[in-house]
Structure 1
C-alpha cells in the first residue's frame, strides 16, 4: 500500500458523509416539491376517478366511478373544438413568441446606446400580473371604445371597427396576440443569454471567409443556439398549454366557445358547473399533453445528439 493512501474502509465514511450532505442540501427543495406539487397532483388524479361535486364537501364522500369522467370529457361534443382551439392557440403563441423573441435577441446582441435600459423595459410585459395585462388589452381591443379600433378608424382602415373580442374568427387571434405580447420578453431573455455564450471569434472567422449575415446565422449561430432554442420551445409549449388568466380575462372562452381551451374547460367544469371530477379529468389530459410533448422533445434531442456524435 502506498504511503499516504487511505484504506477503503476509511474512505467509506467520508463518502457517506458527502452523500448525506448532498441530500441535506436537496431535501428542502424536494420537500417543497412533494408538498406543494406532488400532493395536489396526486389529489387531482384521485379526484378524476370520483364523482366529486359540491355535496362531497358536506358529506365527505365521493363515489368511485372509474373512467367515467374521462369518457364523459372525451365524448363531449365540445371536446374536439376545445382540443383544436388549444392546439391552434399553443402553436400560434409559441411560434410568435419564439420568432419575435429571437429577432429581438439578435437585435440586442449589438452594442448601441441605451441597450441595457431597453432590455430592462422589455421585461415589463412579462413581470406584470396577467390579470392586469388582460384587463388592459380587453379595453384596448373593445369594438366601440378600444384604442386599437380608434387608431384603425383614424387611419381610415376600418369604419365600423373590428370585432376583436366578439367575432368568432377574430377572438382567437386576439388572445394569441395578447399571449405573444406577454411571452416575448421571456423568450428574448433566454435566447439572448444563449447568443451571448457563442464565441465572437466564430462570427469573425465566418465573416473573413466571406459569409454574409444569413449564412453566418445559418451555419454558426443557429447550430450553437439550437439546444437553448429547444428548451425555450418546450417551456413555451408547457406554459401556453396551461394559460388560463389571459383567456378568461380577455374573452372568457367566448364568443360561442371560440377561445375555449382545455385549461378554460377545466375551470368551467370545476368552478362554474361544480363538477370537480370531470374538471380534474380535463386537467389531467392537459398534463398528459405537456408530458408527451416533453418526452417527444427529449427523444428528438437525444437522437440529434447521437447523430451529431456519430458524424465524421
Structure 2
C-alpha cells in the first residue's frame, strides 16, 4: 500500500514542481514585455506610422486641398514616374553623391589627422580639443548663416583675405557661381563634421595599446607603414562605424544647404533633401515629395543595415 502511494505521488509531486517553476517563467516573460512595450509603442507611433503614411502618400494625389476635403485619390505609379524621369531628380541624386562622398572624405581625413596629433600628450591639448568641438555644437542654420557672410563675394572675409595676400586678383563667387557653390557647401560641411570624426577616432586610438605602436616603430616600420599596417587595421570597427554614421547624417542634410544657397544657383547645390523640400513645401506636391523622401529612406536603411552589421562584428572582435 505504501509503495502504491509513493508511485502515484511521485509524478504528482513532479507535476506540481514543474507547474511552480513554469509560473515565474511566464511572469518573467510578461514583465520583460511590459518593460519593452513603451519603447515598442513609441517606435510604432513616431516612426512606424509616419513611415507607412509616407509610403502610402507617394501613391496618392496629395495636395493642400486634401486637408480640407480628406480626399487623396490613388494615382498608382504616376508620382514615382514623374519624379524618377525628372532631370532635376537625376542631378539632385548626383549632387547628393558628390556632397556626401566629398564631405566624408574630408571629414575623415582631417579628423584622423587631428586624432593622431592629439594622441601625443602635450600642454593644453585638452583645451585645444575642446575648442575644436565648437563647430559640432553650433546649430546648422547658425553655421550656414555665418559662413554665408564669410563667403560673400563682395564683403566676405575670405575674399578680402585672399585679395589682400595677393592669392587672387578678383573676388571669387563662392556661393553665387554654379562652378563654385557645391564645392563651397562641401567645405563648410567638412568644417562642421571634423569634430565628430576627431572625437570618435581619438577614442578608438586610445584603445590601441601604446606598446603595439612602439613595437611597430622598433621593428623598422615608418610612421606611414605603422599607420596603414598596424593602427588602421586595428581601428577597422571604429572606422566603419564613423563612416556609416557620417553617411547617414550627411546624405539627408537640408538646413545647412538652405541657409547657404537654398539649392541654387541654377540648382547647382540641389540635393535629394532640398529637392523633397522644394516639392513638398514650395510646390505643395506632397505626393511627389513623399517619393523623394522614400528614396532617401531606402538609401538610409541600406547603410543602417551596414552599420548594425559593422557594430555587431566590432563587438564580436572585442570578445
Whether TM-score is above 0.5 comes out as: yes
Give 2:9's aligned residue.
none
2:172 to 153, 162, 173: 162
Contact 2:61 2:74 survives alignment (8 Å): yes
Give 1:101's aligned residue.
111
Asked if 1:43 is matched to 2:53, the reply is yes
Give 1:283's aligned residue.
293
Aligned partners of 1:178, 1:260: CA distance in 2, in Å? 16
Q: Using the TM superposition, give the Cα deviation of residue 15 of structure 1 relative to its aligned residue in structure 2, in angstroms.
A: 4.1
Give 1:133's aligned residue.
143
Give 2:231's aligned residue.
221
Report the 3-state secondary structure (helix = DSSP H, G, I; strand = E; otherwise coil) of the residue aligned with 2:87.
coil
Aligned partners of 2:314, 2:125: CA distance in 1, in Å? 35
Q: Quick one: structure 1 residues 17 and 187, their matched pair in 2 at CA, closer, same or farther if it must change by over 3 Å?
A: farther
Give 2:66's aligned residue.
56
**62-71 or 130-139: bigger deviation:** 62-71
Q: TM-score, normalised by structure 2?
A: 0.87
Q: Quick check: which has more Rg, 1 or 2?
A: 2
Aligned partners of 1:192, 1:300: CA distance in 2, in Å? 19
Q: Quick one: structure 1 residues 65 and 109, their matched pair in 2 at CA, closer, same or farther if it must change by over 3 Å?
A: same
1:179 to 185, 189, 203: 189
Q: Quick one: structure 1 residues 152 and 221, their matched pair in 2 at CA, closer, same or farther if it must change by over 3 Å?
A: same
Give 1:3's aligned residue.
none
Matched residue pairs, number?
Answer: 303
Q: Using the TM superposition, give the Cα deviation of residue 24 of structure 1 relative to its aligned residue in structure 2, in angstroms.
A: 4.0
Unmatched 5+ stretches in structure 1: 1-6
Give 1:205's aligned residue.
215
Asked if 1:249 is matched to 2:259, the reply is yes
Aligned partners of 1:201, 1:79: CA distance in 2, in Å? 52
Q: TM-score, normalised by structure 1?
A: 0.89
Q: Using the TM superposition, give the Cα deviation of residue 192 of structure 1 relative to its aligned residue in structure 2, in angstroms.
A: 1.2
Unmatched 5+ stretches in structure 2: 1-16
Q: Deviations over 1:186-209 (max 9, x none)?
A: 111111111111122212322332
